[in-house]
Amino acid sequence: MKIIGEKINGTRKLVAKAIAERDVAFIQNLAKKQVEGGASWLDVNAGTHPDREADDLVWLIGLVQEVTDVPLCLDSANPAALRVAMQHVKKTPMINSISGEQSRLRDILPIVAENGCEVIALCMDDKGIPATTETRIEVIRQVFEETRRAGVPDDKVFVDPLVMTIATNTEAGRTTFDTMRAIRAQFPQTHISCGLSNVSFGLPVRGLINRTFLVLALDAGMDTAIIDPNDRELQAAMRATDLLLGRDKHCLGYTRAYRAGLLENKA
């Protein structure tokens, strides 16, 4: 499994403060720690007003690239800000995100196609997030029609089936896992990605639900997760799952993580 480090996100309070105050050390520390934790991409979300977003994104990109070579995942729904940001990245970034929404397909997919980017594609359209596996697959089939027409190969697409809050719908997990299995079967070249934090909203001991979700999602075909790479319990669950699913030859990944002190809970 590969990790998109989620922490440089201006919708989080401390990050918003660091952006407002131009706190270089705070942002660069977040970048370095996530790379040490094994992130393959760093999500960068300014989370600011559209008027300021391009400037803030460029500032964040510059800082992060000073301390790491890991490619970025530019997280914005603002095509103007994305086009400015594209001028400042050293490596081709991932774009977060397109979906079946017409505005995203019209304004963001061309940026992906022109620049040869990888892209996260959310299973939703202008009517919202479909309730069933079948309707989510129908939406993602339409998205693939558009990405293929635009010349984006399936293996640059990271489908996010989306997971709803299980506290309000106990079928939410099952729907997401079933959607992952269907995507894996119908689009074998694509990647499958997911964020974890919605699923446990409103329930106690959220970390337990999140890491159990991660195990089940990996089993259902997810190969990339948008998480905090410094969450030791998620890392441990990921290593154990790779081990048990036969994806860790000679148990090397597991035993190395153990020797690096990553598997034991130090609360």
Q: Secondary structure of the chain: what % helix, strand, coil (to 5)?
A: 50, 15, 35
Residues 167-196 vs a second copy: string with x where CB under 8 A?
A: x--xx-xx--x-------------------
Q: Which of 166, 180, 182, 225 binds a second copy (CB under 8 A)?
A: 166
Residues 11-40 as x/- pattern, contact with a second copy by CB under 8 A: ------------------------------
Q: Which two tokens stand for residue 42?
A: 């760093």
Single out the segment in contact with a second copy by CB under 8 A; choices: 29-37, 58-66, 86-94, 210-218.
Answer: 210-218
- The Cα–Cα gap between 23 and 18 comes to 5
- 3 state SS of 94: strand
Should residue 260 be labelled a site residue for a second copy when binding is judged by CB under 8 A?
no
Kindly state whether residue 164 participates in binding a second copy, applying the rule CB under 8 A. no
Closest by Cα among 244, 250, 241 to 223: 241
Q: Are the C-beta atoms of 153 and 116 separated by less than 8 Å?
A: no
Beta-carbon count within 10 A of 236 CB: 18
- Size of site (CB under 8 A) for a second copy: 37
User: Are 139 and 102 within 8 A, CB to CB?
Assistant: no
CB-nearer residue toward a second copy: 29 or 212: 212
CA distances, 172 to each of 175, 197, 227, 257, 261 (Å) = 5, 13, 19, 32, 34
User: Of the listed pieces 47-55, 99-107, 113-121, 238-246, which binds a second copy according to CB under 8 A?
Assistant: 238-246
Candidates 17-25, 29-37, 89-97, 209-217: pick the segment binding a second copy (CB under 8 A): 209-217
By the rule CB under 8 A, 131 interacts with a second copy: no
Q: Is 150 in the site for a second copy (CB under 8 A)?
A: no
Supply 130's token pair: 């479909």
Binding site for a second copy (CB under 8 A): 166-167, 170-171, 173-174, 177, 199, 203-205, 208-209, 212-213, 215-216, 219, 236-237, 240-241, 243-246, 248-251, 254-255, 258, 263-265, 267
